[in-house]
Amino acid sequence: MITTGQIIRCKAAVAWEAGKPLVMEEVEVAPPQKHEVRIKILFTSLCHTDVYFWEAKGQTPLFPRIFGHEAGGIVESIGEGVTDLAPGDHVLPIFTGECGDWPHCHSEESNMCDLLRINTERGGMIHDGESRFSINGKPIHHFVGTSTFSEYTVIHSGQVAKINPDAPLDKVCIVSCGLSTGLEAPLNVANPKKGQSVAIFGLGAVGLAAVEGARIAGASRIIGVDLNSKRFDEAKKFGVTEFVNPKDHDKLVQQVIAEMTNGGVDRSVECTGSVQAMIQAFECVHDGWGVAVLVGVPSKDDAFKTHPMNFLNERTLKGTFFGNYKPKTDIPGLVEKYMNKELEIEKFITHTVPFSEINKAFDYMMKGEGIRCIITMGA
């Protein structure tokens, strides 16, 4: 290709300050280095994690920065040592990776690659620590190794999943984070038996994906817990059978749920990142066999506090990272499930905006409107 080995100038939405609207800028994107690929991003989506670090609340600020990690695109060029990807491949960038060389990658019980595990404080590439983005010679920081709010981006090849070229990238792009994370928390980790009850804390995109997973698993009762009662009508479309808003009760939510279910739910999945919700999710499961799974990412200074008797009474607490998926190995198969009509994706997509209006996506999320907003690059 004519751009191989050359600097590419393109549009990117740059966050110059915490909490301030992104600014459309012309950036220079350097060629990929060793074990890297440069990707033309066609569609991207806004995830709450982008908003969380854009706000920089309770986190180390790192600006200017190009956010974005839920996307789909086409490989433009590859760097030295890349053998499993080629220009023209349709791919999903992933915020975590699978290098294939370290113990976690070889373990059937883990997807937490030692080399490419998510690092929100890293602003450059692993190979040399340098950024591949710049404006007039000034480096612009990367975000979780993906930075998909740019028409072109450079990513470590271990964070790139090659998928079926017939899959519509404007749909399957959301598989690269939120949908996968939520969907497999019940299926891979909580493992409810058919007919059991499940409580889902948080009914955003990840929580609704968890509802979908619980429904697929055959849960008989799916209790949605959220502070926004407006989300219940949408959640019913995904399989939520009952709704609890903690603000509507004088009692602790875990007590409310225990009374609703004769002692507690069989399984619970927490998808908010609130440490209080994590405690509630754990304490609302039934003693003897209840399992709670934590999905949300807490603030770095949070601490989980519960009485040890909750463990001695045979409640189980688990955590999961990216739904226990290995990015390169498992994500292509999830896309195939969509292609085979075994998985619905369209119902998660509620808005579409052109790249030039990316700040609208932030507005929708900040107002709690919709589930996923697809951002069309080049528009």
Q: For the chain, which residues make up each domain, given as ranges?
A: 8-176+345-376, 182-320
Percent with pLDDT over 70 in the chain: 99
The mean of the pLDDT values for the chain is: 94
**pLDDT for res 106:** 86
Percent with pLDDT over 90 in the chain: 83
**pLDDT for res 227:** 94
pLDDT at 379 over 70: no
**pLDDT for res 355:** 98
**pLDDT for res 131:** 98
**pLDDT for res 65:** 98
Categorize the per-residue pLDDT at 1 as very low, low, confident or very high, splitting at 50, 70 and 90. Answer: low
pLDDT at 90 over 80: yes
Cis status, amide bond into 64, omega within 30 of 0: yes
pLDDT at 59 over 80: no
- What is the rounded CA–CA span in Å between residue 105 and residue 155? 18
CATH superfamily of 182-320: NAD(P)-binding Rossmann-like Domain (3.40.50.720)
pLDDT at 244 over 90: yes
Distance of alpha carbon 343 from the chain centroid: 17
pLDDT 10s digits, 190-235: 999 999 999 999 999 999 999 999 999 999 999 999 999 989 999 9
pLDDT at 337 over 80: yes
pLDDT at 374 over 90: yes
User: From its phi and psi, is residue 198 left (phi > 0), alpha (psi between -120 and 50) or beta?
Assistant: beta
Q: For 8-176+345-376, which CATH class?
A: alpha beta
- Single pTM value for the model: 0.92
**pLDDT for res 67:** 98
pLDDT 10s digits, 309-332: 999 999 999 999 998 899 999 999
